[in-house]
């Protein structure tokens, strides 16, 4: 990683900030991942008691303290996530979101008896490996000055084009493609959620910056109209995003929505962040390559965790190939195997 | 990566050398991977003609020109591999050997109609991703001086201890553990092959260095007794290694021998190289972490490529989860799915 050597007095993400952001991002995924499991425990308990299930319009879960605990953890997680964006680049924080999938998969197998098969376990390991590679190669510094300067960056024609592009896409999907193809193809609503989501993240960064500046006493950004624009944008964007994500979840399995959403959301956040902050310009070719490898590894990991969920694959199924083969081989007449062995040993 | 800033006149692996070594290592895996397939084509053709099969002691394959072509490609590949060790660190060249597994899997699915299932394809992609991460983080420079100085490094007590350790292990396996457990557990003979193999690689590096020095006219190492020691060591080690690898292949499936051999061989070469050249001392914590992530990713890739070979998994099997779910879900009564969906969307 190269550091900008020209002297500047701008507020930069320092190494310390980077590690604070990293810590916040990782702990937010732990809170969010755990909250899924706690909420599910609450729903299962309610189910045993025999109240009307949430799926049928019941609201009994609101009386269950465990459900509220899950809700609280979710809130803490989202706050930590929000704070992480103020400290570290979005292209680090967003991809790490994958770890919450890992946390909930591991906890579900431990506390909910949802069996994690061999491919799921491999997926978990890959998720950690890919995330580590992303952390190693992510941009460590990013120039973010005052809110005024952020406005300058936003006014950059490329980012305005991006916002326009997102708005047109969203309108087209909401009015035309959604009603027509939304129930047939899983990506339709997810593209919309992700595009709007990338604007949410950028507004969160602005809001986080305002909070950080105010708290550290650099300036009182609560006098600044821009802070309120960010705040309102975040509220509106989250509302649209949640609405269409629920639509997608209602129409398709979580197993397919989660990985597809991860891919589109992360990709669009990285693109938006790259256009706005140009953080990638300071990265070497190796770091960009490393980021891509890490990101692809995490996508594969999430795919393995989800797509083969219902398959019954364990190491014991593979014991066959661990055993000496001679008798078995000739009995089954699987001579091709022996042939391939020969072609390698000759 | 840090560069050694103390002035020295030693022969160092420069950036150019690194890329030459990388190119040689990658092309060697292409040659070796292709040679497996060509040899197999020859064996299949012979099978159709009806001559006595190699498995039954036939030598008909020696009359087949295609078999010789495969043999030639294997030779070229091994030479390129040998040359690669002279230019780049062993901890880069050896892990890249995994790419030959990838090449032969892709070619087998294209020309031998051996179907590559979905997990195999994922394995191929992961193999490339992991290898890329290894290349990014591998030591780019390594101090290697004259043969005399290599002798000094070898005389280092740590490396002598390593050689002693390998020899004792090999003797124990050859005389006691092999005959007793070799046919029950796949790792017994493979550990021996890998341990001896790590000495082969180190001797190859010495021999490559001698050749390189002589060709570039730096000194005439063919007058040096050490060159011959390396040469004889290489011959003896390859002989032992091949003998025990064939034993392992004869007792167990290629599908299990290949990944296990890759893991042990690569690990031991990296350890031997680290002890002898101390190339890891110049690496940052991030590079070491990156190397470990890349290496583990490649191990998972090879496992996916081999362990699920006989399973019939394709994207079309997973189409189910891509479809809208409502009717299907309630018909099957798989309410848990709906519940997990709810717990996430609430």
- pLDDT for residue B337: 44
Residue A229 lies in a domain: yes
- pLDDT for residue B27: 94
Q: Please report residues of B whose CB lies closer than 8 A to that of A254.
A: 337, 340-341, 344
A54:B346 CB<8 A:
yes
Residue A2 contacts B, CB cutoff 8 Å? no
A129:B293 CB<8 A:
yes
pLDDT tens by residue, A193-216: 999 999 988 888 888 888 888 887
B303 has pLDDT over 60: yes
A304:B122 CB<8 A:
yes
Q: Please report residues of B whose CB lies closer than 8 A to that of A341.
A: 249-250, 253-254
Q: Which of A104 and B5 is assigned the larger pLDDT?
A: A104
pLDDT tens by residue, B99-153: 888 888 888 888 877 778 888 889 889 999 999 999 888 887 666 667 777 788 8
pLDDT tens by residue, B263-289: 888 889 888 888 888 877 778 888 889
B300:A256 CB<8 A:
no
Across the interface, of B132, B326, B345, the residue whose CB is closest to A289 is: B132
Residues 6+ apart with CB under 8 A from B251: A324, A325, A326, B182, B183, B186, B189
Residue B320 lies in a domain: no
Across the interface, of A55, A126, A251, the residue whose CB is closest to B339 is: A55
Rounded Cα–Cα distance for residues A87 and B18 (Å): 37
Count helices and strands (H / E) in chain A.
15, 0
Best mutation site among B293, B328, B332 for testing chain A: the one with the most A CBs within 10 Å?
B293
Best mutation site among A297, A316, A338 for testing chain B: the one with the most B CBs within 10 Å?
A297
Based on the fold, state whether residues A224 and A113 are members of the same structural domain. no
A36:B343 CB<8 A:
yes
Dihedral of CA atoms B157, B162, B163, B164 in degrees, nearest 10, equals 90
Q: Please report residues of A whose CB lies closer than 8 A to that of B341.
A: 249-250, 253-254
Based on the fold, state whether residues B134 and B27 are members of the same structural domain. yes
B54:A346 CB<8 A:
yes
- pLDDT for residue B142: 66
Q: Find out whether B230 and B104 touch, Cβ atoms under 8 Å.
A: no
Based on the fold, state whether residues A276 and A296 are members of the same structural domain. no
Separation in Å, CA of A65 to nearest CA in chain B = 15
Based on the fold, state whether residues A134 and A41 are members of the same structural domain. yes
Best mutation site among B121, B253, B311, B317 for testing chain A: the one with the most A CBs within 10 Å?
B253
Q: Which of B340 and B260 is assigned the larger pLDDT?
A: B260
pLDDT tens by residue, A277-324: 887 777 888 888 998 999 999 989 988 887 777 776 666 666 555 555
Confidence of residue B25 (pLDDT cuts 50, 70, 90): very high
Average pLDDT over residues B10-29: 79
Residue B2 lies in a domain: no
Based on the fold, state whether residues B230 and B117 are members of the same structural domain. no
Cα angle A142-A144-A150, degrees, rounded to a multiple of 5? 135
Output the six-digit token pair for A223.
Answer: 């006098």
Best mutation site among B133, B262, B306 for testing chain A: the one with the most A CBs within 10 Å?
B133
Confidence of residue B293 (pLDDT cuts 50, 70, 90): very high
- pLDDT for residue A101: 83
Based on the fold, state whether residues A156 and A277 are members of the same structural domain. yes
Across the interface, of A296, A300, A344, the residue whose CB is closest to B254 is: A344
Based on the fold, state whether residues B205 and B112 are members of the same structural domain. no
Q: Please report residues of B whose CB lies closer than 8 A to that of A313.
A: 308
Best mutation site among A132, A314, A340 for testing chain B: the one with the most B CBs within 10 Å?
A340
Across the interface, of B296, B306, B338, the residue whose CB is closest to A55 is: B338
B322:A256 CB<8 A:
yes
Rounded Cα–Cα distance for residues A200 and A166 (Å): 12
B24 has pLDDT over 90: yes
Range of the domain at B151: 145-282
- pLDDT for residue B236: 92
Residue B66 contacts A, CB cutoff 8 Å? no
Residue A112 lies in a domain: yes
- Coarse DSSP helix, strand, coil percentages of chain A, rounded to the nearest 5 percent: 80, 0, 20
SS3 readout for A148-159: HHHHHHHHCHHH
B250:A345 CB<8 A:
yes
Nearest to residue A37, comparing CAs of A80, A84, A101, A98? A101
Q: Find out whether B207 and B231 touch, Cβ atoms under 8 Å.
A: yes
Best mutation site among A41, A100, A129 for testing chain B: the one with the most B CBs within 10 Å?
A129
Surface of B (101-120) touching A: CB under 8 A: 119
Q: How many domains does chain A have?
A: 2
Residue A319 lies in a domain: no
Confidence of residue B62 (pLDDT cuts 50, 70, 90): low
- pLDDT for residue B169: 92
Across the interface, of A40, A313, A342, the residue whose CB is closest to B340 is: A40
Residue A207 lies in a domain: yes
Based on the fold, state whether residues A102 and A162 are members of the same structural domain. no
Q: Give me the total of CB pairs closer than 8 Å, taking one residue from chain A and one from chain B.
A: 159
Residue B132 contacts A, CB cutoff 8 Å? yes
- pLDDT for residue B10: 40
Given A229, A264, A282, the domain boundary residue is A282
Q: Find out whether B94 and B261 touch, Cβ atoms under 8 Å.
A: no
pLDDT tens by residue, B151-162: 888 888 888 999
A326:B47 CB<8 A:
no
Rounded Cα–Cα distance for residues B191 and A152 (Å): 62
Q: Please report residues of B whose CB lies closer than 8 A to that of A323.
A: 252
- pLDDT for residue A346: 35
Separation in Å, CA of A202 to nearest CA in chain B = 23
pLDDT means per 10 residues, chain A with 346 residues, are 40 72 92 85 74 58 76 86 84 86 84 81 90 86 71 84 92 88 84 91 85 77 80 90 82 77 87 84 85 91 81 63 49 41 41
Separation in Å, CA of A292 to nearest CA in chain B = 9
Q: Which residue of B has its CA nearest to A247?
A: B345
Based on the fold, state whether residues B275 and B299 are members of the same structural domain. no
Across the interface, of A132, A300, A321, the residue whose CB is closest to B293 is: A132
Q: Is A12 helix (H, G, I), strand (E, B) or coil?
A: strand
Q: Please report residues of A whose CB lies closer than 8 A to that of B122.
A: 300, 303-304
Given A282, A303, A335, the domain boundary residue is A282
pLDDT tens by residue, B239-250: 888 888 888 877
Residue B169 lies in a domain: yes
B337:A256 CB<8 A:
no
Complex prediction ipTM:
0.76
DSSP secondary structure, A121-134, as one string: HHHHHHHHHHHHHH
pTM, two decimal places:
0.77
Based on the fold, state whether residues B179 and B277 are members of the same structural domain. yes
Based on the fold, state whether residues B273 and B171 are members of the same structural domain. yes
Rounded Cα–Cα distance for residues B83 and B81 (Å): 5
Q: Find out whether A137 and A287 touch, Cβ atoms under 8 Å.
A: yes
Based on the fold, state whether residues A274 and A154 are members of the same structural domain. yes
Confidence of residue B342 (pLDDT cuts 50, 70, 90): very low
Surface of B (266-285) touching A: CB under 8 A: none
Rounded Cα–Cα distance for residues B102 and B123 (Å): 8
Residue B342 lies in a domain: no
Output the six-digit token pair for B90.
Answer: 């062993």
Please provide the average confidence, as pLDDT, over all residues in chain B.
78
- pLDDT for residue B13: 54
Surface of B (133-172) touching A: CB under 8 A: 133, 136
């Amino acid at each position: 990683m190269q550091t900008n050597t020209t002297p500047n007095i701008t507020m930069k993400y320092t190494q310390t900030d980077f590690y604070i952001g990293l810590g916040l991002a990782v702990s937010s995924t732990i809170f969010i991942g755990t909250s899924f499991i706690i909420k599910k425990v609450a729903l299962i308990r309610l189910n045993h008691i025999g109240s009307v299930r949430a799926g049928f319009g019941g609201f009994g879960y609101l009386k269950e303290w465990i459900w509220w605990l899950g809700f609280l953890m979710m809130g803490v997680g989202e706050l930590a996530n929000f704070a992480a964006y103020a400290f570290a680049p979005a292209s680090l924080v967003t991809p790490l979101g994958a770890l919450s999938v890992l946390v909930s998969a591991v906890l579900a197998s431990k506390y909910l008896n949802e069996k994690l098969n061999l491919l799921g376990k491999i997926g978990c390991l890959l998720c950690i490996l890919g995330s580590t590679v992303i952390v190693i190669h992510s941009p460590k510094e990013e120039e973010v000055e005052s809110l005024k300067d952020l406005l300058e960056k936003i006014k950059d024609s490329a980012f305005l084009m991006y916002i326009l592009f997102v708005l047109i896409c969203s309108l087209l999907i909401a009015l035309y493609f959604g009603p027509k193809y939304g129930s047939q193809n899983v990506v339709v609503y997810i593209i919309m959620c992700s595009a709007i989501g990338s604007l949410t993240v950028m507004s969160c960064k602005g809001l986080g910056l305002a909070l950080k500046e105010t708290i550290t006493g650099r300036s009182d950004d609560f006098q600044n109209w821009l802070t309120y624009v960010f705040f309102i944008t975040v509220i509106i964007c989250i509302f649209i995003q949640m609405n269409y994500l629920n639509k997608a979840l209602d129409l398709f399995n979580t197993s397919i929505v989660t990985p597809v959403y991860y891919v589109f959301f992360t990709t669009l956040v990285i693109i938006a962040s790259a256009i706005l902050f140009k953080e990638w310009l300071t990265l070497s070719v190796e770091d960009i390559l490393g980021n891509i490898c890490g990101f692809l590894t995490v996508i594969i990991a999430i795919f393995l965790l989800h797509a083969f969920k219902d398959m019954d694959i364990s190491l014991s199924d593979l014991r066959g190939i661990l055993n000496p083969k001679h008798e078995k081989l000739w009995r089954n007449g699987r001579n091709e195997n022996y042939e391939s062995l020969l072609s390698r040993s000759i």
